[in-house]
Amino acid sequence: MSPDLSIRVTVLDTLDAINLEVPASTKVSEVKRTALTRSRVRVPASEFVVKWKGAELYEGDRTLADAGILQNGALIVLRRRRVPVR
C-alpha cells in the first residue's frame, strides 16, 4: 500500500484550491477529475491538463508516485487551450 500524500490542486477556471489526501498510487487523471468535480466545472476533463512545477504531467496510467509528486505538492489544473476574452 502506498503512503498517503497531502496535495493541493488549484483549478484555474474557478481559482479554487482543493486539498486532497490521496495514496501515492492515485492516477494523475483521477486527481484532475476529482478537482474539477469539487470545483463544479462542467467542461469535460479531457479539455484540461495538470501541471506541476510548470511542466505538464502525462496522465495515461501515470500515478502521483510515478510523476514524482511529493508531500504537500501543489498541482494546477488548467484548460488545454486558452479561452479568448471578449
CA 72 to chain centre: 13
Full set of structural domains in the chain with CATH: 4-79 (3.10.20.90)
- Tens of pLDDT, residues 15-33: 999 999 999 999 999 999 9
pLDDT average per 10 residues of sequence, the chain (86 residues): 84 92 94 95 93 90 92 93 73
Contacting residues for 26 by C-beta, under 8 A, at least 6 apart:
63, 64
Per-residue pLDDT, 80: 87
Per-residue pLDDT, 2: 59
pTM for the model: 0.87
